[in-house]
Amino acid sequence: MLCDLPADGIYETRGAAMSSTAAATGLVLFLLSLPVVQSQNDYAVTYTSTQICAVKGSTVDIGCSFKHPSRVNVLKRVWFTKGNNYNPEDLKTDPAYAGRVSYSSHWKSCTLTIRDLRESDSAVYKFRFETNQKNFTGLPGVTLTVTALRVHVDTSYSNWATLTCQSSCYHPSYIWYKNGHKISRRNQYWYTDNLNPSDSYSCAVTGHEDFSSPSVCVRDDSCNRVNYSNRRICAFKGSSVDISSTYNSYESSIQSTSWFRSGRGSEDLREDSQHAGRVQVTETERGRSTLRIRDLTESDSAKYHFKFKTQSFEWGSSLPGTTLTVTDVQVRGFNGLQLDCVTSCNHYVSSYVWYKNGQQVNGASSSSYDVSRDTSNSYPYQRSYDNKNSYSCALKGFEDFHSSLVCTQGQRCNKVNYSKRKICAFKGSSVDISCTYNSYESSIQSKSWFRSGRGSEDLTEDSQYKDRAEVTERERGLSTLRIRDLTESDSAEYHFKFKTQDFEWKSSLPGTTLTVTALQVKVSRIIPVHECQTEAELKCESSCSPAGRLSFIWFKNGQKNTKQQTSTYTDCFYPGDNISCAFTGYEDYHSPPVYAPKFASVLVLNNSHEIVEGSSVNLTCSSDANPAANYTWYKDKKTISTKQELIFRSIQSSDSGEYNCTAKNELGQRPSEVISINVKYAPKLASVSVSPSAEIVEGSSVTLTCSSDANPAANYTWYKENKLLLHGPVGRYHFSSISSEHSGNYSCKAENLYGPAQSVTLYIDVEYPPRLPSVSVSPSAEIVEGSSVTLTCSSDANPAASYTWYKENEDSAKASGQNFTITDFRPEHIGSYYCVAQNTRGHHNSTLQLIVTASLVKSAAIASMTIFFLAIVILSAVIFIRKTRPLKVIFSKDRTNSIAQKSASPEHDGPSAPPAEQQDDLCYASVSFSKSQEDPLYSNIMPTKPKGQNEEDEEEGGGDVEYSLVKFINGAQGLRGEQAVEDSSALYSTVRKIYH
């Protein structure tokens, strides 16, 4: 379908064969089909070709023409690739095509031009025009294919490489390059050569060498090669441009690198008189070189190449480099009614700026300007009056590079044109800023120069320019502002204005920009030598280049070096040397000197007089050096930073140490003095340790140590069970002979000016052998024969003691454990017992003695039958005594470790008394327990069961009855004998033993 349906219904397509005339530019590589005409009812679109293939980076013209009935007016013309045939998206509004597309403005021509082609531009392009009656779209459109040449390397064979120039389009003839040199008689798409890892290759289509492929290596990426970042660059006159390339050398050492331009041999541009003072070569990173050209002129338009040289290799120059086009913007008239803004490059912008009489015209943003909008059609006589207006244009964003002002008719309009848009002058010199001007009216009342930012004040009356600014006019219409003794503050934009009775020129157009520069010495190269401290190549440079070619003078330590008159100077330099440069004849305005760092010092910035942990601390390394020094920080001789400032936002104790810095530039270095950073801080966690670390034994020497990291050193306070023991600067607490009383929980507190720290509690456990055991008997009241008796041995010991019970004159132990129980007490249990308390630190004995003693010696005399009366008396006496004096048992508890008693009791190792039941006579024994009470406790032991009638009868009947008295005696008093019976505090009970 060719046109919109709603207005006129469906239009058919009719094709017509035409002669094949390629309407593309020379940059289009091949046209594949015949032109096509699409028409209906006098509406038609003709495409020169429907298939076009072009190389990436080139420019293509897609030829197109259209027709329509003469009675209709064309309202809009659109090329599109997106949207549909009824609602297309104009390429001019597509950001991907910004500044790269333009439509032919000729009558009924619709040719589309696309510059700097990209692979993403491959698409089907259609043209559509809209009229006041119908809208028409030409189908099927034009298919554009953008291809990028690439070299494919096949190394299947060990000694050969097969190279293929790949493209998505067919091309009949190719050109091959090896290491930048053109290979003759090689025009096929493939090429074979010996395999050499140092070689690189590139290809191009014949006739389109400017769009060659990137250079590639036959193996890895270490070959010799040069690739340019941009193949074509367009720049405005007076501007600056950067031309860059990447390069690599197969050999490690490169002797020289340089830029040159076609048609001038291989002369280094830095030595070319045409580019003197305007060329600078920089290398911001290894393998990337950038050529910068300032203050461009149209004569700078050329092809620029980069080359490098090693000991055995030099890069060739036949491979195309970067083509630079320098252009100016011009205003061209069309029948005196329409003005066109024309330039050979548009910097990817599609918007323009128009000026009328120096003032920007609002709403004018296309490349054409309709002058009739400024002319009143109602009053034709005013048409000649409007000839007073002048016009200028610029690309949006590049207003500094606007066109010269032009008149629509003749040259009598109001206008001001500056001789130079930019001027560079060095400090102390003089400069002339000129302009030509014209007034449509013959009489000019006033004229003056002023600078931007200061209103319109006449410079000759400005105090800053007093006696330095002068305006001259050697011929009518040419004004010159001269400023002497330039200073850097004079850098500004200067304007000229004039005033008549009916008109005042107050231009918003840029005037002349003056840049006042001071020369600077830069270190361009360091030469490694051993004869001097530093050998360097210095270059005298400025931020801009003054007009004319001037010679240089170099100064070393204030002395002129008459042998060096170029911009470069090579010499040996030592610490303390000062080097500067100047233009010949302007020695008083020499550059600031360059020198190695004269010193390096450290400044400590802190909020208080002491550096406290957690505070903010800044260390700054400063130096007097030109070029500016680079700084390196060291802590304890180890590199920690390469910044000028060392910032501690919250300094820590670990940051304490010895600090210093070095200041270094290309001409030398200086170290600073070492400073000590001593960070003060409160005690860290306090800890308690004990020495020796093994078990603590009573009587040994023990030291407790309180440790804490603090600055300044902490004072220590010792606590036992939270009670203060000691306070002082020494963190030790010493026991020369520790005892059990020293056992307990110990802690310490470390404290200085910045805070305290409390330790955790440490328990001190003092080990000691058993103390003298104490023995007790249970029950302590009546002990009845046949009852259970428990003997208990107790001793203070650490670790806890183990107990063993023994009976005198018996080898084997009676029992182990703290308690010894006799479950059925009988007379044979009477005897001497002792317990042994023992732990890992020693042992101690205690004796429990059961001693049988006779108050009356048992007698059984057999009287002579002849003395019968005496026998009866004796027998009656014996019976009487047995009833009135019981057996006396004494339990004695020793407080010494000796088994023998030093009292009236018999020794443990003597013979023991015979059992009571073997005595014919009455027997008495005392049992003594050494208890802690002072008064003795007496107890008679009785049977556990109640006494029956039979027992009473037996007792009355004079049966064999035995009595005993149990006496508890304080161990300190020993055995008291029978006197104890008289003690008023004695407790008596009867123990009765029944014999069967």
Confidence of residue 336 (pLDDT cuts 50, 70, 90): low
Lowest mean pLDDT segment, chosen from 17-21, 337-341, 936-940: 17-21
- Give the integer Cα–Cα distance in Å for 394 and 413: 20
Whether residue 712 is preceded by a cis peptide bond, meaning omega within 30 degrees of 0, is yes
Most confident of 362-376, 663-677, 847-861: 663-677
**Sign, Cα dihedral of 251, 257, 262, 266:** negative
φ, ψ at 882 (rounded to 5°):
-65, -30
- Looking only at the bridges linking them, the beta strands covering 232-236 and 322-327 are parallel
Phi, psi dihedral angles at 625 (to 5 degrees): -155, 150
Task: Pick the more confident residue, 495 or 168.
Answer: 495
Give all strands of the β-sheet with 174-178 in edge-to-edge order. Answer: 181-183, 174-178, 200-205, 216-217
Q: Averaged over 75-88, what is the pLDDT?
A: 88
Regarding beta strands 552-556 and 150-154, do their DSSP bridges make them parallel or antiparallel, or are they unpaired?
unpaired
Q: Phi and psi of 300, rounded to 5°?
A: -80, -5
pLDDT at 900: 31
Rounded to the nearest 5 percent, the helix, strand and coil shares of the chain are 10, 45, 45
In CATH, the number for domain 224-326 is: 2.60.40.10
SS3 690: strand
Ranking 42-56, 326-340, 844-858 by mean pLDDT, the lowest is 844-858
Q: Tens of pLDDT along 570-612?
A: 888 888 899 999 888 778 888 899 999 999 999 998 877 889 9
Dihedral sign of CA atoms 914, 918, 920, 921 in order? positive
pLDDT in the model for residue 911: 36
- Cα–Cα nearest to 303, from 319, 315, 316, 283: 319
Residues whose CB falls within 8 Å of the CB of residue 274, separated by 6 or more in sequence, listed in order: 299
User: Distance between CA atoms of 581 and 568, rounded to whole angstroms?
Assistant: 10
Going by C-alpha positions, the residue among 264, 344, 341 that lies closest to residue 298 is 344
Q: Which CATH number applies to 328-413?
A: 2.60.40
Q: Apex CA 647: angle with CA 644 and CA 652, to 5°?
A: 140
- Tens digits of residue pLDDT in 865-920: 546 667 677 777 777 766 654 444 444 444 334 333 333 333 333 333 333 333 33
Instruction: Find out whether 244 and 228 touch, Cβ atoms under 8 Å.
Output: yes
Exposure of 920 in the CB half-sphere (CA atoms within 13 A) = 5
Cβ 886 vs Cβ 852: under 8 Å: no
Radius of gyration of the chain (CA): 62
Across all residues in the chain, what is the average pLDDT? 78
| Per-residue confidence (pLDDT) for residue 25, from 0 to 100 | 37
More confident residue, 865 or 546: 546
**What pLDDT is attached to residue 332?**
83
C-beta of residue 796 within 8 angstroms of C-beta of residue 771: yes
Across 380-406, average pLDDT = 76
Task: Compute the CA torsion angle 816, 820, 822, 823 (nearest 10 deg).
Answer: -90
**Model confidence at 35, in pLDDT bands (50, 70, 90)?**
low
Q: Which of 89, 76, 169 is nearest to 125 (CA)?
A: 89
- Which has more confidence, 931 or 125? 125
Structure-block tokens of residue 146: 């953008």
Task: Give yes or no for a cis peptide into 140 (omega within 30° of 0).
Answer: yes
H/E segment holding residue 677: strand 675-677
Percent of the chain with pLDDT over 90: 32
DSSP assignment string, 594-614: BB-----EEEEEESSSS-BTT
Q: How far, rounded to the nearest angstrom, does the alpha carbon of residue 59 sit from its chain's CA centroid? A: 47
> How many angstroms separate the CA atoms of 402 and 330, rounded?
8
What confidence score (pLDDT) does residue 306 get? 93
Query: And the tokens for 291?
Result: 């050529």
pLDDT at position 517, please? 85
Answer yes or no: same fold for 5-147 and 687-767. yes
Beta bridge partners of 449: 496
Structure tokens at 374: 């400024």
- Residue identified by tokens 């304890």 is 636
Alpha helices in 531-591 (DSSP H): none
Instruction: Check if the beta carbon of residue 970 is closer than 8 Å to that of residue 930.
Output: yes
pLDDT at 924 over 50: no
First to last CA, the chain: 148
Query: Do 850 and 925 contact (CB within 8 A), yes or no?
Result: yes
Spatial CB neighbours of 290, under 8 Å, sequence gap ≥ 6: 242, 243, 244, 281, 282, 283, 284
Q: What is the rounded average pLDDT of the residues 756-772? A: 93
Say if CB 334 and CB 289 are below 8 A apart.
no
Q: Which two tokens stand for residue 389?
A: 């207006």
Q: Does domain 5-147 have CATH number 2.60.40.10?
A: yes
Cβ neighbour number for residue 322 with a 10 Å cutoff: 22
Q: What is the full DSSP assignment across 726-756?
A: EEES--EEEESS--GGG-EEEEEEEEETTEE
Closest CA to 220 of 246, 240, 243, 248: 248
Mean pLDDT, rounded, for 485-510: 89
d(CA 959, CA 992): 12
Comparing 934 with 503, which gets the higher pLDDT?
503
Coil, strand, or helix at residue 944? Answer: coil
- pLDDT surpasses 80 at 721: yes
DSSP character for 109? B
Of 326-340, 427-441, 642-656, 751-765, least confident by mean pLDDT is 326-340
- The two structure tokens encoding residue 119: 């692979």
Residue in 549, 445, 448, 580 with CA at minimum distance from that of residue 501: 445
Q: What is the model's pLDDT at position 312?
A: 85
- pLDDT value of residue 529: 63
Q: State yes or no: pLDDT of 296 exceeds 80.
A: yes
- For 768-797, write each residue's pLDDT tens digit: 999 999 888 888 767 778 888 898 999 999
Q: What integer pLDDT is reported at residue 664 of this predicted model? A: 93
The answer to whether 74 and 130 have CB atoms below 8 angstroms apart is yes
Residue whose tokens read 């804490």 = 708
AA identity, residue 812: S
Alpha carbons 280 and 770: distance in angstroms, whole number: 100
pLDDT (mean) for 366-379: 66
Count Cβ neighbours within 10 Å for each residue of 429-461 and write b for 16 or more, e otherwise: bebebbbbbbbbeeebeebbbbbeeeeeeebee
Q: Kindly report, residue by residue over 416-467, the tens digit of the pLDDT.
A: 999 988 888 888 889 999 999 998 887 888 999 999 888 778 898 888 898 8
Residues 6+ apart with CB under 8 A from 910: none
Record: fold of 687-767: Immunoglobulin-like (2.60.40)
Cβ-Cβ contacts under 8 Å for 379 (sequence gap 6 or more): none
Sequence-ordered strand ranges (E) for 51-141 = 51-55, 60-62, 64-67, 74-80, 82-83, 88-89, 101-103, 112-114, 123-131, 135-137
Q: Domain 518-589 maps to which CATH number in 1.20.1300, 3.55.50, 2.60.40, 1.10.260?
A: 2.60.40
Spatial distance between the Cα atoms of 351 and 681, rounded to a whole number of angstroms: 67
Q: Has residue 974 got a pLDDT over 80?
A: no
For residue 36, the model assigns a pLDDT of 53
Among the residue ranges 216-230, 315-329, 347-361, 699-713, the one predicted with the least confidence is 347-361
Q: Are 188 and 174 in contact (CB under 8 A)?
A: yes
Say if residues 113 and 121 touch (Cβ distance below 8 Å). Answer: no
Task: Quick: pLDDT tens for 951-967.
Answer: 444 334 343 333 333 33
CATH of 774-994, one of 3.10.180.10, 1.10.150.530, 2.60.40.10, 3.90.550.10: 2.60.40.10
pLDDT band at 183 (very low <50, low <70, confident <90, very high): confident
In Å, what is the CA distance from 375 to each residue of 49, 322, 369, 380, 390?
A: 43, 46, 13, 9, 13
Residue 949 has pLDDT above 50, yes or no: no
> Which has the higher per-residue pLDDT, 105 or 169?
169
Name the CATH code of domain 601-669 (choices 1.50.10.20, 3.30.70.20, 2.60.40.10, 3.30.420.10).
2.60.40.10
Structure-model confidence comparison of residues 303 and 913, the more confident one: 303
Q: Dihedral of CA 895/897/903/906: which sign? A: positive
What does the alpha-carbon distance between residue 728 and residue 377 come to, in Å, rounded to a whole number?
109
Domain boundaries, the chain: 5-147, 224-326, 328-413, 518-589, 601-669, 687-767, 774-994
What is the model's pTM? 0.52
What pLDDT is recorded for position 481?
Answer: 96
Band of residue 859 on the pLDDT scale cut at 50, 70, 90? very low
Q: Write out the two tokens for 516.
A: 């006042």
